[in-house]
Amino acid sequence: MCLIVFAWQSHAQFPLILVANRDEYYRRPTATAHFWEENPAILGGRDLQAGGTWMGIRRDGRWTAVTNYREGEAATAPRSRGELTANFLMGEEPIEHFAAEALHNGNLFGGFNLLLGDDDQLLYCSNREPNPKQLAPGIYSLSNHLLDSPWPKAVHAREALAALICTPNPEPEALLSCLQRDTPYADELLPDTGVGLELERMLSPPFIRSANYGTRSTTVLMKNPHGDISLLEQNYGEGGSKGKCSEFLIRQTDQ
């Protein structure tokens, strides 16, 4: 997953509002959002190549998401970043302990940015920074650099989310739009992450289209003060063609 914007404890009706694009090679096998067979309390997509996930949430409100950290030619790492998110969802380790362990073992993974949350707290950590951060209420962006790095697409998406959540009851379908810009930004605005200007251009908008790689899904996750969870996932095929759209609702009264 390559771009996430989220409002944490800054909306009266929804303590968590998150919109995320997952960007990946079209050939990489993927399962769309579903309740996992080995643990039906977990809702999320699945990377069928390495077995992990880019984002998921548990019925009790424990949730997580990961992005990679772009830094030129990526070296092969012993373990998949999606293992971090899957292990967090399947485990019971306190958030702070899990983050500390992830950073302790950070050299085993490619560069990552990791969000770890529940109903009461939200923590960010990266193996490109020394310490985890407890996040205060606010609106944040997370792309393929550190939290709130001012890349053009991250700034655009954060501003778009802030505008869309000014209403008491933002609609998930409307929130999808804050990550749909597919026009590349001007060269002088682009970061230099070591991948070359042509690739920087292709990767610069929130919604990516190319022959082999692009945005595979947009996910909207919302939690209300009672802990009820809604998840909307719009999937895309090659070139950004619309595919399956799935909606899920978890009510705490049904637990």
| pLDDT tens per residue across span 109-130 | 999 999 999 999 999 999 999 9
Strands (E) in the chain, as ranges, are: 3-8, 16-25, 30-35, 42-47, 55-58, 63-68, 112-117, 122-126, 133-134, 138-142, 213-223, 229-236, 242-250
Query: Residue 104 is part of which domain span?
Result: 3-254
Say whether pLDDT at 75 is over 80: no
Q: What is the mean pLDDT of the chain?
A: 96
Q: Can you give the pLDDT at residue 76? A: 84
- When divided into structural domains, the chain yields a total of 1
CATH of residue 51: 3.60.60.10
Q: Can you give the pLDDT at residue 254? A: 66
pTM of the model: 0.97
Q: What is the mean pLDDT of residues 105-110?
A: 96
Q: What is the mean pLDDT of residues 234-245?
A: 96
| pLDDT tens per residue across span 147-164 | 999 999 999 999 999 999
Question: Is residue 66 a contact partner of residue 84, using CB atoms and an 8 Å limit?
Answer: yes
Q: Using alpha carbons, select from 235, 240, 241, 237 the residue that is nearest to residue 32.
A: 235
